[in-house]
Structure 1
Amino acid sequence: MRFTTILLGGLALASAAPAFAQDETAPPPALKLSGGTTLISDYRFRGATQTDSGPALQTTLNLNHKSGFYVGTFMSTIDGSGRTPALTGYGQAEVDLYGGFTKTLKGGFGVDAGLLYYYYVGHVSGQKTDFFEPYASITYTVGPVATKAGVAYAWDGQKGLSGFDVRSTNDSNIYAYGEASVGIPTTPVTLKGHLGYSKGSLGSLNIPGSRDDDYFDWSATAEAVGGPLKVGVSYVGTDISNQNRFAKRLGRGSTVLAYIGTSF
């Protein structure tokens, strides 16, 4: 009854003063909270599995200010049991904390820059796992086509990166990438492509003894979105050597993965 009374009163006010109702528009909120949860068949970070080629549950949460500043977090289950060699002792969850600034410019261009911190929950006591990674990117959108080029750099001297680079005592890492996507008209499907290049401590994933501290990764994805739901399938690969099935056995070679998620 109370709801009905308020509703009818509101309708009467609207009919009595339509011009006022049309001119009075609420300003957009200064802060916007968004996020989502995804179930993926294999968590691949820059082409390499983080879950022993098994499934992962992932969550994102972002808080954006109208000025362009934002903070957020990405959380994912991982495999730190030793079955995923590069993550031995890292625990069972990765939590990424980040903050930055993004801005849409004229002519379809946009920029984004920030700082990301990788934190591994439940890692072995005394093992150094965490590190910072600044990042920056530029985007360009025209019609249904969106492109992006970016770089992330983890500086030398961070204990979480120490001892991984097989070619030097410099434990820094650089990751450069390019991406493109296009929406298929009159459908909910978007096609996406990605090419990345890792060099340094996080690029030392090739066959032991090769002294190879860099590699390329790539992916091709088809994603469909309907309301808050999304589903997708990706082909992911790297140029890490598959001699004696090395890349395949360690989850660093080509694979097909699928995911389903929801967002708000």
Structure 2
Amino acid sequence: MKLVLPATAIALFAWPLAVQAQSIVEDGSSGEAVAPAITVSGSATLTSDYRFRGVSQSDQNMAVQGGFTVGHESGFYVGAWASNLAGWGTFGGANMELDLIGGFRAPLSQTATLDIGLTWYMYPGGADNTDFAESFIKLTGIAGLATLTAGAAYAPEQQALGKWYNTGADAVRGVYNAPGVKDDNLYLWGDAAAAIPGTPIAAKAHIGHSWGQGGLAPNATAIAPTGKYWDWSLGADVTWRNLTLNLSYVDTDISTREARYLRPSFSEGQDGTGNIAGSTLVASLTAAF
């Protein structure tokens, strides 16, 4: 299992460190610190399993992740995020996911923010027709010690989301049942986080629902493998300085029996056994810069 990202991705993580020292500038007329027009932030994470909407993208093994965001005082921002992949998550041969993100954040009040943007999911080195675009919108509000977020992500019809294989057996034989077909995907989710007073701990919860193609795309994977399903998690963050340790229980309602027609692709090691969407504990350590 490779735990080292390609050099290009590592460069993305390192670059924000070089410019972080410039995140506060001096006002020449008054000598007071003022917020800069452009800010750069980043993070690096080591996690025991990369779960995307409840489904393992790293074959239930460790993953190294990281990214950066460049924001402007107007509210516009761009960023990139990457992770290594394995098993089901390899998208036709890719060992890396690279997400390019752009969007706009607008404060609606002192306690509410609207975020609208687009994510381009890229799988360098993967099979043809693997990359896809997904728009998103989310509303975040603060109520006392709690932060609540509601969001929606919609990927319009694209070949990367189409049901080209009806079953995992067809994928093994290399027989397309509907080559070239396109499909879309909708994901709705809600997040909640609440700080525990007097401690560095914050309790967290997540729930989401996916609607998609219900089969295998041209890369023999899918972002909604059974067509529609729920995912959820419960956990906690412990923060010290710029480090955050998270422990979460993650699960979906995709049963082994329900996912059988997707095998062997949809399984640990892609050998036809092991439910990669079953319940698990995920531990991660994140350093923010």
Sort the TM-score into its range (normalised by shorter chain). 0.7 to 0.9
Bigger fraction of residues in helix: 1
> What does residue range 46-195 of structure 1 map to in structure 2 within 5 Å?
46-79=53-86, 83-84=87-88, 87-124=90-127, 127-156=128-157, 158-163=158-163, 171-195=183-207
- Structure 1 residues 43 and 24, CA gap change in structure 2 (3 angstroms): same
Amino acid of the residue matched to residue 41 of structure 1?
S
User: In the aligned structure 2, how far is the partner of 1:72 from the partner of 1:219?
Assistant: 26
- Higher Cα radius of gyration: 1
Residue of 213, 225, 228 corresponding to 1:205: 225
2:236 matched residue in structure 1: 222
CA contact (8 A) 1:38 1:261 kept: yes
CA contact (8 A) 2:140 2:150 kept: yes
Gaps of 5+ in 1: 1-20, 207-212
Amino acid of the residue matched to residue 107 of structure 2?
T
* Paired positions, count: 230
Q: TM-score, normalising length from structure 2? A: 0.74
CA contact (8 A) 1:180 1:193 kept: yes
> What SS does the corresponding residue of 2:160 show, helix, strand or coil?
helix
Tell me by how many angstroms 1:25 deviates: 1.3
1:16 matched residue in structure 2: none
- Structure 1 residues 78 and 61, CA gap change in structure 2 (3 angstroms): same
Percent identity (aligned): 37
Tell me which of the two structures has the higher relative contact order, counting C-alpha pairs closer than 8 angstroms and 6 or more residues apart. Answer: 2
2:3 matched residue in structure 1: none
Q: TM-score, normalising length from structure 1? A: 0.81
User: In the aligned structure 2, how far is the partner of 1:90 from the partner of 1:136?
Assistant: 31
Gaps of 5+ in 2: 1-27, 167-177, 214-221, 261-266, 268-272
Deviations 1:216-235 (A, max 9, x none): 00001211111111111010
Tell me by how many angstroms 1:164 deviates: 5.6
User: In the aligned structure 1, how far is the partner of 2:258 from the partner of 2:33?
Assistant: 63
**Aligned-CA RMSD value:** 2.4
1:252 matched residue in structure 2: 277
